[in-house]
Amino acid sequence: MFDLSRFVDDLRASLADPTRTATKEIVARAVSDPRSMVRQLGEPEKAGVRILYRSRDLTVIDAIWAPNQIAPPHEHRLCAVIGMYGGREDNVFWRRIPGRTNFQIEISGGQALSTGDVLVLDRDIIHSVINPLAGLSTAIHVYDGDFLGVTRSMWNSESLIEQPYDLGAVLIVPVERR
């Protein structure tokens, strides 16, 4: 059964492993029982982000993606472990275009995550996120630092030019279905 206090304690202990293998295993264990996570964290009702734990070396976030929500390309500058406990999120990976002075990016791959899946992102990954479903998607995000205290970038969705990170723009960008 998922217990947030124990989860955070286990994550804190896993920070000594630079490969994030131990962190991935802890998150995988948690998301393997999504009903238990929902009982502990509450039934998601609307899109948003809840900070479950924050310190200098660890941040744990409960991310709830709106139906059809798109988060533009962004970076974390921290290692991240993402575990889906409901719905789906499609990640598009990007890389900087060598030789460009305006810091543009291009697509370099992607990965779809469904309930129970876990993804490790290195600190230099740039990604965008899409919830392709008509319902909410839920994920636990674990960062090896103070997620809210790190200076980072995002990219304009049209021009793909780098700009300062705007948490509001990354997290709440629903797209209407027609």
Biggest CA–CA distance in the chain, Å, is 50
| pTM assigned to the model | 0.90
Look at residue 106 in the predicted model and tell me its pLDDT: 93
Look at residue 67 in the predicted model and tell me its pLDDT: 95
**Nearest partner of 53 among 99, 105, 12, judged by Cα:** 12
Look at residue 178 in the predicted model and tell me its pLDDT: 36
State the 10-residue block means of pLDDT for the chain, 178 residues long.
97 94 98 97 92 96 94 94 98 89 88 98 95 96 95 91 81 43
Token reading at 114 = 């469904």
Look at residue 98 in the predicted model and tell me its pLDDT: 81
Chain centre to alpha carbon of residue 119: 9
Instruction: Look at the chain and count its residues.
Output: 178
Which listed CATH number (2.60.40.290, 1.10.230.10, 2.60.120.10, 3.40.50.11290) goes with 4-171?
2.60.120.10
